[in-house]
Amino acid sequence: MASASSGRFSGDRMVGNKAPHGLTPAEQKRRRKRSLALALILGALVLIFYVVTIAKLGPGVMQRPL
Amino acid sequence: MSNSLTDNQAEQLATAGLSQGDVSDFFALLKPRVMFLVVFTALVGMVVSHPDVHPVVAFVSLLMIAVGGGASGCLNMWWDADIDAVMVRTRKRPIPAGKIQPGEALAFGMTLAVGSVIILGLASNWLAAGLLAFTIFFYVVVYSMWLKRSTPQNIVIGGAAGALPPVVAQAAVTGHIAWDSVVLFAIIFMWTPPHFWALALVKSGDYERAGVPMMPNVAGPDSTRFQILAYTVLLAPLGLAPVALGFGGLAYAIIALIGGLAMLALAVQVYRLRQGEPAMRVAQQLFGFSILYLFLLFATLLAEHGFGFFRPVFG
């Protein structure tokens, strides 16, 4: 019986743990690049929100009623 | 009956919805060359305003205008995938080439559109954000979905979307709209018909195959040539309007005068030469020079206001 967890695929698919989702090496590479680009964009967004907050509030960012 | 999945079923299940696109394919969806033009004209719209705003806010605003422009391009490609597939110029774009699914492009474009508008609003002000949202709406809904396939005036009216970035940029850094950005809007708006119709004269077969009613296919090449000349006659003096309003200096006046006369000379040639290879060649020349003309006008304003080269023409 074949199952999704067997990790055995035919043709040009990878065998074993290297390709548990049945992706070809090219698909894996593209997915890795997309994931990296997404991570960079998310990091840039964090940076943008942080820097814009500082730029707009200036020294006032440290002054708040306790 | 077994509940187990075969290898093939498991594979299909796992890869269902998996994008086949590379990062470069997603970047191509943003129309990088158009995005460059958007950034460039927006930057000039900011610089001529001499804003009293933190450079970080100006930079983020410019970035969001660029992303908004990219979102417009992406949504345009999603909508026009069917006609892109039959035009030689566009059939290698990511969606007709099968690298990216239409649904992916729609989600990508909408995310960028909404994100860029919200971040621009938070970073600068909501007037600028509203103008950016209007620009995206105008390009995608009014131009792409409505005008492009229904009227030969498509690029005339639709050109407003491409002309708005300097206005958005000025609103982002000053909080209001002044005459100088409106004049920049008018220059790009008036430049658009001669620029695109020159291309349409050369590529009329492509547009006809795709069923896009460009002016040469509907009104004929001769009428298009006359309209190119008419718009250029209006564009050349309009290019000098920044001088009259005082934000175009001596260098700008010289460039706008020589460039405007060169545009006029080429438009006259396009009007006169109507047959064969010379007619196609001069239309191609007008298309190419129109890009240089607009670039020089805006680059000169950038040099005058951004790098201290401004010398007043009057007084």
For residue B21, give how far its alpha carbon lies from the nearest alpha carbon of chain A (Å).
7
Asked if the interface predicted TM-score (ipTM) of this complex is over 0.85, the answer is: no
Measured CA to CA, the distance from residue B208 to residue B224 in angstroms comes to: 15
Count interface pairs A-B at CB distance under 8 A. 68
> What pLDDT is attached to residue B13?
52
pLDDT in tens, B200-257: 999 888 888 888 999 999 999 999 999 999 999 999 999 999 999 999 999 999 999 9
- Side-chain half-sphere of B2: how many Cα atoms within 13 Å? 6
pLDDT in tens, B7-44: 666 556 555 667 888 999 999 999 999 999 999 999 99
**CATH class of the structural domain B22-177:** mainly alpha
Domain boundaries, chain A: 9-61
Q: Tell me the chain B residues in contact with residue A55 when contact means C-beta distances shorter than 8 Å.
A: 54, 56-57
Residue with tokens 């009329």: B204
Q: Tell me the chain A residues in contact with residue B100 when contact means C-beta distances shorter than 8 Å.
A: none
Residue with tokens 């407003």: B160
Which chain B residue's Cα is nearest to A5?
Answer: B10
Residue with tokens 């090219």: A26
Measured CA to CA, the distance from residue B154 to residue B4 in angstroms comes to: 55
> Under an 8 Å CB criterion, which residues of A touch B?
1-4, 6, 8-10, 13, 21-23, 27, 30-31, 33-34, 37, 48, 51-52, 54-56
Of B13, B22, B57, the CB nearest to A55: B57
Torsion angles phi and psi, residue A43, rounded to 5 = -60, -40
Q: Is B26 in contact with A31 (Cβ distance < 8 A)?
A: no
Domain boundaries, chain B: 22-177, 179-315
